[in-house]
Every structure is written in structure tokens, then in C-alpha cells.
Structure 1
Amino acid sequence: MQLPDLAWQIVYGRLGWTAVLAALLLALLPRSWRLPRSAAVLVPAACGLLMALPGKASPAYWLGLALQYPSGLLLGLCLLSLCARWRGAAPRSFMSTPLAAVLAVAGTALYLDAIGWLSLGLYHAGFGPTAAPALALLGAAGCALALLRGHGGREAPALFGAFVLFSLLRLPTGNLWDAVLDPLLWGWALAALCRRGWRRAVRAPQRAALPIEPFSISKEQVRDK
């Protein structure tokens, strides 16, 4: 088991929660609002100053107690969202349905294992000295290959950054699971799935109620008759 240096963890926690809070604040604004590019700088800067406050005066202290550290994947997705804001675009959801499904299932399995309903030792396996680093390297290689081929969408860069961060510095906690999943990200995945499922359930009756266009006979079919 190789744990990250405590100083690196503290710095990571402050920077990570800065990006998460800034992305969340900007995401709560209506998409119709056209914010100036300076907003994509001023909001993260203000959040960074807030997180840099010493000791218990910093929100990062209390967020760390409640949620520990943001995962590398959550940090990557938030940074991508902030970059999109910098380019002047109001980004849509960075959580695709396949990624949300995988995170929801993995998170549920981990939490059921943590409370003893499964007792498989899944979280502890993330500290493995051989398997966990090997999986991280394979994951990083897969993401790099997807990026080179122009696939992977927005998730591939975020996943690649999470795997590299874990491989080089063992951040955020030295556990591979914490590099790609955290309670906030798990809740985001569940909310994304519920929202899309609700939209489909609402749209299905509307599509069924649409009038069916009458069958039209072409001129060639009339001539044949």
C-alpha cells in the first residue's frame, strides 16, 4: 500500500474543491445567460481564495470531513466544464449515460460492500500494491488510445487525468476507487440517470399521441395500377 504525501493531499483538496465549487456555481446559472469570459476566471478565483482560508475557516476543511476529497474524474469533468465556459459555451451535461450507469452500479456495489451487505472487500482491493497500479496504467493507456482515435468524448480526457494522477502521485487517497469515484460523483450519476429516465417516460406518451401521417401513393404506383 502506497499512500500519497499529506502535503500533496492538502493542496489537492484545496484545488479540487475550488474547481468543483466553481463549476457547480456556473452550472446553476441559466443557459440563456451569456456570461462574459471574465466570469470563467473570476468565479474560480473567488472560490480559490475562499478555499485558501486557513483551518476551519476554509470550506475545504468541512467538505473534506463530509466528502473527503473529490475524485480525479470529478475534478477532470469540472475542469472541462470550466474550459468550456472560458470558450464562451454553456456546456451541457458532461455525464454521458454509459458513464453514469457504470458509476452508479460501481458506487452502489462499493457502498453495499462498505456496510457489510456484500463483504467482498472491494474498497480494500483499491489499495493493492500490484493490481491497482496495473489497472490504472491499463486505463490510462486505453484512454490515450481512445483520444488518439478521436473517440471517448469528454470522459476520456477526464479519466486519463484521473489515472495519471493516481499513477504518479497516488492522489487523492492512494486508493484506485477514490481516483475515479466519490460520493458527489456517484450522486451526480444517479441524478443524471433518473433525469434521463424521467424525460423518456414523459416523452413516450407524447410520441405515441402524435398523429400518423396518411399513406401517400406516388404517381408511379398510380400509373402501375
Structure 2
Amino acid sequence: MTLPDLASQIVYGRIGWAIVAATVVCALWRGAAPLSRAAVAAILGGALALMALPGNLSPAWYLGLAFQYPSGLLVGCCLVRLTERWNGARRSAAMPPSLAGVLAVAGTLLYLDAVGFLTSGYYYAGFGGVLAPVVAVIIACACALAIVRNHGRGTAAAVLGAVVLFSVLRLPSGNLWDALLDPLLFGWAIAALLVGALRRRRRRVTDRSPSSHSDPDSASGPALQPIAAEHFTSLKEQVGGQ
């Protein structure tokens, strides 16, 4: 088990939390127009300056007390989101349903293992000298293949970056699972799944309901016209017979 250097952990924590904070600020933007590149750069620069403050003057100090360090995947997903904002996109592809589902299942298993409901030692396996490197190589190869084939390139790049960060610098904690998952990323995945489920349910309800834009007169008009024509012909025949 090789742990990262403490100085590199501190530097990574400051930069990582700055990227996460800038992404949150951009996500809370509700302006009519998308953020300009200058605004995105200013938000990121301000977050970096704020997190670089010494000691407990930095918000990274308190974030570290609560969450330790952001996972490499969380930082990567936030970078994908910031890149989308930089390019003027409003909708994010940083957390697709497939990734959210995997993170939700993995986070649940790790949580159950950590609190004692499971005793399989899943979390401590992330420190292993054999299993963790093998899993990291498999994930890296899968992400590289996805990037080459242009399948979810942004998400694959975020996962690959987290694995490379762990493999080279052992950040953030020397545990593979800490590089791929953390409480904030787990919450993001759960929220993405819930929002997706609500949207699908709303879409099904909308598809099943009758159209609210249809005109009642135009809907009943064609059905009543044959009846009116038949009644008029019958009346004409009666008058002609008399």
C-alpha cells in the first residue's frame, strides 16, 4: 500500500475543491443568457484564489474536515461541466444514466460495508497491491476504447483522468475507490437518477393524456357533418313528396 505525499494531497485538495465550487456556482446560474467565457474564467479564478487562502481562512479547510478530498472522478466530471459551460452549452452530459447507476450501486455497497452491514472488506480492497492495479488497468483500457470510438467521450475522459491520477500520484488517498467515488459524487448520481426517473414519468403521463391543443369544434365538426347532411336530405325528400 503506497500512500500519497501529504503536500500533494493539500495542493490537490485546494485545486479540486476550487473546481467543484466553480462548477456549483455555474450550475446555480439562472440568467436568460448562458455564461460567457470571461464569466466562467472569472468564477474559476475566484474559486482558486479563495481556496488558496492559508489555513482555516480557506473554505477548503472546512470542506476537508467534512469530506476530506474530492474524488478524481468528481473533479473530472466538474471539469467536463465547466467545459460545456465554456462552450455555451446549458444541458450537461457529465453524469449520464449509465455512470450514475454504476456509482449509485457501488456507493451503496461501500456504505453498507463501511457501517458493518456487509463484512466483505470492499473498501479496504481498494488499497490492495494486486486487485486495485488490475481494476485500474481494466477501467483505463475501457475508457480509452470509448474515447477512440467516441462513445461518451467526456465521461470516459473524466474516469480515465481519475484512474491516471490514482495510478501516478496515488491521489487523493491511495485508495482506488476514493479516486472514483466520494459522498458528493454519490449524491450527484442519486439526484441524476431521480431527475431522470421523474422526467420519464412525466413524459409517459404526457403521452397518455389527450392533447390539450386540440380544438373541440374542429374535433366534433367532421363527425357532425355527415349527420347534418343526412338529416337535410331526408327533410328535402319529405318536402318534395308533399
- Shared fold (TM-score greater than 0.5)? yes
The percent of aligned pairs where both chains have the same amino acid is 54
Instruction: State the SS of the aligned residue for 1:19.
Output: helix
5+ long unaligned stretches in structure 2: 212-218, 220-242
Shift of residue 82, structure 1, vs aligned partner: 1.4
The structure with more radius of gyration: 2
**Aligned counterpart, 1:154:** 154
* Larger mean Cα displacement after TM superposition, 11-20 or 85-94: 85-94
Higher relative contact order (CA 8 A, sep 6+): 1
Moved more, 128-137 or 144-153: 144-153
Aligned pairs for 1:177-216 within 5 A: 177-210=177-210
- 1:8 paired with 2:14, answer no
Pairwise CA distance, 1:200: 1.9
Residue in 2 that maps onto 1:168: 168
Confirm or deny: 8 A CA contact 2:84 2:92 kept in the other structure.
Answer: no
- Residue correspondences, number: 213
* Cα pair distance change 1:81/1:121, threshold 3 Å: same
Q: Which amino acid aligns with 1:92?
A: S
Structure with the bigger percentage of helix: 2
Match of 2:238 in 1: none
Counterpart of 1:65?
65
Describe the superposition over 1:30-74 as per-residue Cα deviations: whole angstroms up to 9, x where unpaired.
263232211111001100111011111111011011111111111
Inter-partner Cα distance in structure 2 for 1:152 and 1:134: 23
Residue in structure 1 matched with residue 228 of structure 2 by the alignment: none
Letter in 2 for 1:51: M
- Tell me the C-alpha RMSD between the 2 structures: 1.7
Is 1:114–1:123's contact at 8 Å kept on the other side of the alignment? Answer: yes
Structure 2 residue identity aligned to 1:190: I
Contact kept? 1:81, 1:91, Cα under 8 Å: no
1:30 aligns with 2:35: no
Q: Which letter does structure 1 place at the counterpart of 2:81?
A: S
Moved more, 173-182 or 28-37: 28-37
Q: Is the 8 A contact 1:137 1:167 kept in 2?
A: no
